[in-house]
Homo-oligomer: A and B are copies of this chain.
Amino acid sequence: MAYELYYWPGIQGRGEFVRLALEQAGAAYRDVARESGGMAAMTRLMESGGHPPFAPPFLKSGRQVIGQTGNILLYLGARHGLAPADEAGRLWAHQLQLTIADLVQEVHDTHHPVGTSLYYEDQKKEARRRAAEYRDNRAPKFLGYFERILADKPARNWHLVGARLSYVDLSLFQILEGLRYAFPKATAKLERCLPRTVALHDQVAALPRISAYLASERRIAFNEDGIFRCYKELDG
C-alpha cells in the first residue's frame, strides 16, 4: 500500500526531508495535501482522537500515523535500508538527524525570530540581528560539525553514517541546497571550508532517483513561504 505523506502544499519545508527519503527508497507515496481535498484530510487527522500529530509533516503507513520529521525518518530508514541495521548505528544516524532538525529550526528563526504567527515584515528588524548571529556563529558551528565528521573518514567514503547511503546524507544535501538559496553570499563563503560537505551534496544530487526527482514536478521550487527564504537583507 502506498504511504500517505501529509505536509503543507506549496513549500518544501520539513516535508522535503521525508520526500527525499521516499524518493530514494523508490517507495510509492501520495503527497496528500497537494491533491484536491487533501488539506481537509490533513486537518482531520490533526484533530482526530488517539494519536494526533502536533504538526505536519506526518506519514500514514497503513493505519499508523507517524509525526515529527526525525521520527518519520527513523521509521523509513529501518524499513528501506536508509539507516544502519544495528541499534548503535541507527541511534547515531538519528542523533545526526536531530542535529539537522535543530539547524533547520535556527534557519527558520532567522526570518521569524519573534514569532511564527507574525509576518516577516513585522519582525524585519529582529530578523536582521538574528540572521547576523546565524551567519557569524551558528551556521559555521553546525556545518563545521558535519564537515568534521566527514573529514574523519577515508576520502572515497562520502557518507555521514558508516560506509553506505543513509537518510542523513539526503538531509545534509537538502540543507546545503536550502542555504545556497537563502543565503547565497554567506553560504558561498562558508563552502570554502566545507569541501567534504560539498562533495556529499554533489554525490546525492547525482543519485539516479534523486536526480530524477529534482527534475520532476514533484520537487517544489524554493520560495518565500518555506523555511529557506531568500531575503537579500538577511544575507549580510
By a beta-carbon cutoff of 8 Å, the part of chain A in contact with chain B is 49-54, 64, 66-68, 70-71, 74-75, 88, 91-92, 94-95, 98-99, 102, 105, 109, 113-118, 123, 126, 129-130, 133-134, 137-138, 142, 145, 148-149, 152
Contacts and interface: CB of A to CB of B under 8 A. Distances in A.
A68 B94 CA distance: 9
Copies in the complex: 2
Contact of A66 (B91, B99, B123): B91
Contacts of A133: 114-118
Contacts of A130: 113-115
B64 A88 contact: yes
Contacts of A98: 68, 70-71, 98
B49 A152 contact: yes
A71 to B, nearest CB: 5
Interface of A is mostly: helix
B115 A129 contact: yes
A192 to B, nearest CB: 22
A145 B54 contact: yes
28 contacts: A52-B145, A52-B149, A53-B95, A54-B99, A54-B142, A64-B91, A66-B95, A67-B95, A68-B94, A70-B98, A74-B91, A75-B91, A98-B98, A105-B105, A109-B109, A109-B113, A113-B114, A113-B126, A114-B126, A114-B130, A115-B129, A115-B130, A115-B133, A115-B137, A115-B138, A116-B138, A126-B126, A126-B129
